[in-house]
Amino acid sequence: MSTLRILHVDDEDDIREVAAFALELDPDITLTSAASGEAALAALDGGLCPDVVLLDVMMPHLDGPGTLARIRERQAHQITPVIFMTARVQSGEVDHYRALGGLDVITKPFDPLTLAADVRAILAARR
């Protein structure tokens, strides 16, 4: 299995900690965490090149959809896969997040034991 570089963006400390614990169970994942959309953009502008971005939908100042729009403005990240993470998963909302350019949606609360496999499955389905 190849190394998977993930940028996880969530404004809640406890969610970032649980996600980090969950994703780092997979030895082939390299994780970078960001506490805001702005911090994620700064990391990307600083040279971070993730294979996928896990992006919280509801964040203050710059929400997930706004962050995705700003990610797409960067030449190097116009096609970087983004998976939204949210508790709001009515079918219309999921369709909306996909229409914005999200690859898929992972529901919060997520299962820490399957998070890494869920991300890999979404990426595999894309290919």
Q: Which of 31, 52, 61 shows the shortest CA–CA distance to 102?
A: 52
Q: What is the pLDDT of residues 12-58, one digit of tens each?
A: 999 999 999 999 999 999 999 999 999 999 999 999 999 999 999 99
| Residue ranges of domains in the chain, CATH in brackets | 4-126 (3.40.50.2300)
Is pLDDT of 1 > 80?
Answer: no
| Phi/psi at 15 (5° precision) | -65, -45
Tokens of 120: 């890999």
pLDDT band at 91 (very low <50, low <70, confident <90, very high): confident
Is pLDDT of 61 > 90?
Answer: yes
Percent of the chain having pLDDT more than 90? 91
Instruction: Give the range among 1-5, 54-58, 60-64, 74-78 with minimum mean pLDDT.
Output: 1-5
3-state secondary structure of 41: helix
- pLDDT value of residue 90: 81
Distance (Å, whole) CA 104 – CA 73 = 20
Check: pTM over 0.85? Answer yes or no.
yes
